[in-house]
Structure 1
Amino acid sequence: MIVVTGATGALNGATVDHLLTSTPASELVVAVRDPARAARFADAGVAVRRADFADPASLPAAFAGADQLLLVSSSDPSADAVALHRTAIDAAVAAGVGRILYTSHQGAALDTPFGPGRDHARTEELLAASGVPWTSLRNGFYAHSLGWLVGPWRETGVVSVPVDGPVSWTSREDEAEAAAVIIASDGAYEGPTTLTANAAPTFAEVAEIASAVAGRTVRSEVLGVEPWIAAQVAAGRPEGMARFALGMFEAAHQGFFAGTDPLLTTLLGREPQSVHDELARSLPA
């Protein structure tokens, strides 16, 4: 049996959709905080169980019988993500889960300036110490994040960043499809498993790609940290959110997202989607 948490979200929900193309619904379970939101899976014959990492009592029944368990990482910036992940891993161990798969990040490292990357690294340490076979899906930075990280370049013709660096922007849809392939392989991938697109453009190169997509010049500018923060606040973004995003740019500048890996292409059997594809989708029809 395969149990997938967070299936009402875009990433793991799409993973379940892909699993359903090759796996009987009777062999799948979605474990979600709000079962009412998982009606489409129930309608397809998938069992729906309640699971909330913040409610440890909900987890034993949710994880029961799982040969493989896909744990979604916490996306709540106000929560102690590592504590929530520890609770879920402990429950998986107690339930006798055969393998834990975890949605991690390419930049997982204890010394990254990007907060979630540190959380992922600590969670991977918990997985390694759990005694259960595990696979960490180190996804490339999700390409749809470009929409808010590079600002209103369509209107301004400018990509403004605090510092520059390469990022292997990767489609969330491609990551979901690859996760389904890895789950279906039933243990063929062990430990940290990097899944990225085939290029890691800098933000200056993103501006060049945007120029090609829009058919007009889009330039890039590196403002520096404090001027960029000030510009974000002036545009209405809370300073705390701006400084959270700053960690991503600083991690890019330090090379945490620079690597690319051919595995995603192999798993998909085709070229992953590119930054050009993502920016083209964002333009008005």
Structure 2
Amino acid sequence: MIIVSGATGTLGGAVVERLLDRVAPDRVGVCVRDPAKAKALEERGVRVRRGDFADPASLEHAFEGATRVLVVSVDSAGETAVRLHGDAIGAAVKSGAARVVYTSHMGANPASPFAPMPDHAATEEVLRHSGVAYTVLRNGFYASSAHLLLGAALTTGELALPEDGPVSWTAHADLAEAAAVALADDVLDGVTPALTGAEAVDMAGVAAIASELTGKPVRRVVVSDDKYRAGLLAHGAPAHAADLLVGLFAASRQGEFARVDPALPRLLGRPALPLREVLRAAIG
């Protein structure tokens, strides 16, 4: 049985849908914190069981009978994230899974200033020493994040952010399909190349696309890291969240998300969705 964690989240939910295009529902199980939210999947024949990375004992039941397990990275950072990932990987191995698939990031790097990247790098090390076959999906930066970073600029016409660098924005839908392929077929082993969109675009480029899509000018303005952080704090953002975003721009300036690789379109058998189309759908 193929088990997908985080199946009620954006990425995990999309992975399940694409997986069901490839295998029968009775070969798919999901591990979710709230089974009630996965009732529709259960009605379609998918096995639904409660499992919480923060409750390792619950994973034994959730992963029972697994041949492959998708560990979707958690929305945490630091030692907590690495511990949760490690507990999930350990439970998958204990369940007898022959392969563990993990949603890492193209920028995984122990020295990155963007907080989630060292966590991904540390989790990859856990997988390397897990004793089972594994697939590390080096996912490109979510294109939906470009829309989030646009934020109020769509209204104010001014996109005020720190200096940045090009990012190869990648659609959730494409990454979900890639994960489904990795779970259903024996085509990906070990650490994948960067699974990215077809072009790297900086925030000035994002502003230009937004201007074209809305018909309203969006001007890119560069502000200092300190001014940006102060603004986030003034608007109620927690300090750790402000630091994370400042780290994002620092990492992009270093080119950590700029690589464009043909691996994703080759895997999908079609071009990757361009950022413009993801923004078009998000902006409406």
Shorter-normalised TM range: over 0.9
| Matches of 1:199 and 1:242, distance apart in 2 | 27
1:2 aligned partner:
2
TM-score by length of 2: 0.94
> Any unmatched runs of 5+ in structure 2?
none
Instruction: Tell me the equivalent position of 1:188.
Output: 187
1:150 corresponds to 2:145: no
Q: Deviations over 1:196-230 (max 9, x none)?
A: 10111111222222222223432211101111112
Structure 1 stretch displaced more, 253-262 or 89-98? 89-98
Which amino acid in 1 is paired with 2:187? A
- More divergent stretch after superposition (231-240 vs 249-258): 231-240
The Cα of 1:231 is off from its aligned counterpart by 2.4
Alpha-carbon distance, 1:83 to partner: 0.5
Structure 2 CA distance for partners of 1:282 and 1:20, relative to 1, 3 Å: closer
Unaligned runs of at least 5 residues, structure 1: none
Letter in 2 for 1:150: L
Counterpart contact for 2:161–2:228, Cα < 8 Å: yes
2:172 aligns to what? 172
Distance verdict in 2 for CA 1:114–1:97, change over 3 Å:
same
Q: Distance in 2 between matches of 1:48 and 1:239?
A: 37
Which stretch shifts more, 243-252 or 97-106? 243-252
Give the Å deviation of 1:116. 0.8
Asked if the contact 1:5/1:30 (under 8 Å) is kept, the reply is yes
- Larger deviation: 238-247 or 128-137? 238-247
Alignment of 1:16-95 (within 5 A): 16-77=16-77, 80-95=80-95
State the alpha-carbon separation in 2 of the partners of residues 116 and 222 from structure 1: 24
The AA in structure 2 aligned to 1:243 is: D
Question: Could you tell me how far apart the structure 2 residues matched to 1:54 and 1:235 are?
Answer: 31
CA distance in structure 1 between the partners assigned to 2:117 and 2:101 by the alignment? 17
- Count of matched residue positions in the alignment of Structure 1 and Structure 2: 283
CA distance in 2, matches of 1:219, 1:13: 35
Identity among equivalent positions (%) equals: 47
Conservation of the 8 A alpha-carbon contact between 1:150 and 1:161 = no
Return the letter of the residue paired with 1:209. I
Instruction: Output the CA distance in 1 between the equivalents of 2:113 and 2:55.
Output: 30
Residue pair 2:146, 2:206 contacting (<8 A) in 1 also = no
Q: Give the TM-score of the pair, scaled to structure 1.
A: 0.94
Q: Aligned equivalents of 2:251 and 2:166: distance in 1? A: 9
CA RMSD of aligned residues (A): 1.6
Superposed displacement of residue 28, structure 1: 0.8
Match of 1:145, as an amino acid?
A: S
In structure 1, what residue type is equivalent to 2:249?
F
Give the Å deviation of 1:107: 0.7
